[in-house]
Amino acid sequence: MYQALYRKWRPKSFCDVYGQPHVTKTLQSQLESGRISHAYLFTGSRGTGKTTCAKILSKAVNCLSPVNGNPCNECEICRGIENGSILDVIEIDAASNNGVDNIRDLREEANFTPANAKYRVYIIDEVHMLSIGAFNALLKTLEEPPSHVIFILATTEIHKLPSTILSRCQRFDFKRIAPEDITARLMFVAEKENVSLTQNAASLIARIADGGMRDALSLLDRCFAMGTDIDENTVSDAAGIAGTIHLFSFSEFVAKGDFTSSLKLVSRLHSESCDIDSLCTELTLHFRNLMVAKTVSDCEGLIVCSKDELSKLKERAGEFKLSKILDCIEILEQTSKNIKNAANKKIQLEAAVIKMCAPASASGVIPEGLEERICKLEEMVANRAFTAPVSAPAAAKPAEKPAEPKPEAPAPKLESEEAPLPPPPPPAEEQSDIPDGPFANWPDVLDKIKIYDIPLFGILANSTALIKSGRVVICSENPTLFDFICTDTHSKELARAVFEVMGRKMKIAVSNPEKQKAAANPLENLKAKINQFNSNN
């Protein structure tokens, strides 16, 4: 019967384990010195070697002739553990044996001495799946097991384990395996299987595996089924992804803003049964590589690819602005979340491609054209290329409508009975034709002021005006009017409004209602002065 590659080429000793030297060296040192713990906890992402190291450790502690902490794999104990004939090594799947009764049975079995080996080893895989009652039942045995029992716990979700379990085990964290280690292992397996595997194809498998050796070997197994000559296209077809050629085509269309070509490429890949989820992930990784190539000068250690592909990435990154690359990554990340619950995944990806090809203003990031203007200003600042602005003469400026000269109003001067305001009055001959009486156009003046000076309009509300001796006299009961329009700004706006309505410069004054009232009734004024004198004396 055919055996899967990840089972056939599972490491038999610590020396064959790739990418976990901090774990394997520590375990070998413990085995050589004889300081073996009663409980181990292996944690890490899937396919990083947790179960493999647990099986190697179970053989090493029972091996009749270990070599530098490694099992010999030749004695009857090693062979018996490997083929399952020795029952002193028990592997338990906690996902299906997670009850209290299962742990109680385990505790009872642990009291019996091993039948053939030196230690009875319990490997509990996916230990985080145990129930709370099962954990509590395991605590006492895990803390003080019989001298012939060793527990090896493995989990991918360390945060789900109670702290009481964590404190009773020696913890080893398995890291994601580096892409170069996975590539080397794939090339070794392909050579032993007499299959031609290119370096670029092995690197592509390593990137897809995302740090998991088992996933990489499973994908290589699928590639073997398609032929004995494996290249990047074979890997792309087997994994159902776009491949680097299509990814570079995508980034080219995005850089040019070519909506049509981008959508056609999505449709073609979809018709060729390319998985939309995988395509979105590959696009995200591609733009991530463009971001690194754009920002890091020496990026060889940060991007797993061939030298030719790296040069293409740097060239393509030069066609983008960093802000555009970051926007594309953000769009793809959001699309990846939306795809999981979408009724039609293709539509979600098409919408993402449209956003990526659209200018920055259409994606809602920055106003259109603003980024280019900012870049030009940054270049000018860097080069100090500034020139003083040259103002064109007034005659050279085309004017749609000749503007009336704005009157200049000097600061107002106060008089004894009436308070005149600027501008200064025109000569008497210019005003002799204006008869005294009510100023009928005063509402028009207020309309102008409402446009030019809203605070002044509020002060002048409910006021009237009259023409007296060629002057505009404002009549209002507001006591703050005079002080308010003495301000240079307000007086100019008032003079401007009168000028536009009357068509000539007029002297402006404010009536003093208190003095007018006193002049109209001098007897009352005299009585008030007498009363004030008596009160003071």
Asked whether the predicted pLDDT for residue 173 surpasses 80, the reply is yes
Task: Give domain status of residue 412, yes or no.
Answer: no
Mean pLDDT to the nearest integer, 83-92: 89
Helix 345-357 × helix 259-271 angle, to 10°: 160
Sequence-distant contacts of 361-364: CB under 8 A, at least 24 apart = 363/327, 363/331
Same domain, 99 and 136: yes
The backbone torsions φ and ψ at residue 174, rounded to the nearest 5 degrees and listed phi first, read: -90, 125
Q: What is the CATH number of the domain that holds 315?
A: 1.20.272.10
Cα radius of gyration rounded to whole Å, the chain? 45
Position with higher pLDDT, 151 vs 369: 151
Query: β-strand 39-44 against 170-174: which pairing, if any?
Result: parallel
Q: Are residues 149 and 185 in the same domain?
A: no
Each residue of 11-67: pLDDT tens digit? 999 998 988 999 999 999 999 998 999 999 999 998 899 999 999 999 999 999 998
Query: How far lies 288's CA from each of 45, 285, 330, 537, in Å?
Result: 22, 5, 10, 95
Q: Are residues 151 and 221 in the same domain?
A: no
Residue 399 falls inside a structural domain: no
Q: Is residue 217 part of a domain?
A: yes
Q: pLDDT at position 413, please?
A: 45
pLDDT score, position 521: 54
3-state secondary structure of 407: coil
Domain boundary among 323, 357, 391: 357
**Host domain of residue 454:** 418-519
Residue 368 lies in a domain: no
Instruction: Return the structure tokens found at 193.
Output: 């299987």
Do 83 and 198 reside in the same domain of the chain?
A: no
The CA-atom distances, in angstroms, between 374 and each of 363, 377, 378, 386, 487 are 18, 5, 6, 15, 41
pLDDT tens by residue, 412-424 = 444 434 445 555 5
Q: Say whether pLDDT at 385 is over 70.
A: no
Does residue 28 sit in the same domain as residue 78?
yes
* More confident site: 123 or 491: 123
| Count of domains forming the chain | 3
Residues 86-97, mean pLDDT to the nearest whole number: 89
Assigned domain for 333 exists: yes
